[in-house]
Amino acid sequence: MIYLLLSIISSSLIYTVFKLFGKFNINTLYAIVINYYTAFFAGYLLLERDFKVTDWLQQSFFLSALLLGVLFISVFKLMAETTRISGLSAVSVASKMSLAIPVVFVIIYYQESLNLLKVIGIISALVAVYFSALKSNKVKNIRLKTLIFPLGVFFGSGIIETLIKFVEEHQVANSDVALFSMSIFFFAAIIGSIAGTIQYKRKAIPFKKKDLFGGIALGIPNYFSVYFFVLALRSFKDASMVFIVNNVIIVLLSTLIGIIFFKEKLIRKNWWGILLAIISLILITFTNQ
- Whole-angstrom distance, CA of residue 198 vs CA of residue 281: 44
**By the 8 A CB rule, do 134 and 286 touch?**
no
Position 87 scores a pLDDT of 64
pTM recorded for the entire structure? 0.89
Task: Give the residue-averaged pLDDT of 22-36.
Answer: 89
Chain segment 261-278, per-residue pLDDT in tens: 888 888 888 899 999 999
Chain segment 81-134, per-residue pLDDT in tens: 776 676 666 677 788 889 999 999 999 999 988 889 889 999 999 999 888 877
Task: Give the residue-averaged pLDDT of 148-153.
Answer: 86
- Whole-angstrom distance, CA of residue 7 vs CA of residue 224: 7
Position 10 scores a pLDDT of 96
Task: Give the residue-averaged pLDDT of 234-257.
Answer: 91
Model confidence at 4, in pLDDT bands (50, 70, 90)?
very high
- Whole-angstrom distance, CA of residue 73 vs CA of residue 80: 11
- Whole-angstrom distance, CA of residue 62 vs CA of residue 55: 10
- Percent of the chain predicted with pLDDT > 70: 93
The distance of Cα 245 from the centroid of its chain, to the nearest Å, equals: 14
* All residues at 6 or more sequence positions from 122 whose CB lies less than 8 Å from its CB, including other chains: 103, 240, 244, 280, 284
- The mean predicted confidence, pLDDT, of the chain is 88
Q: What is the DSSP code (8-state) at residue 146?
A: G
**By the 8 A CB rule, do 157 and 86 touch?**
no
* Listed residue (236, 281, 246) closest to 99, CA to CA: 246
The distance of Cα 184 from the centroid of its chain, to the nearest Å, equals: 13
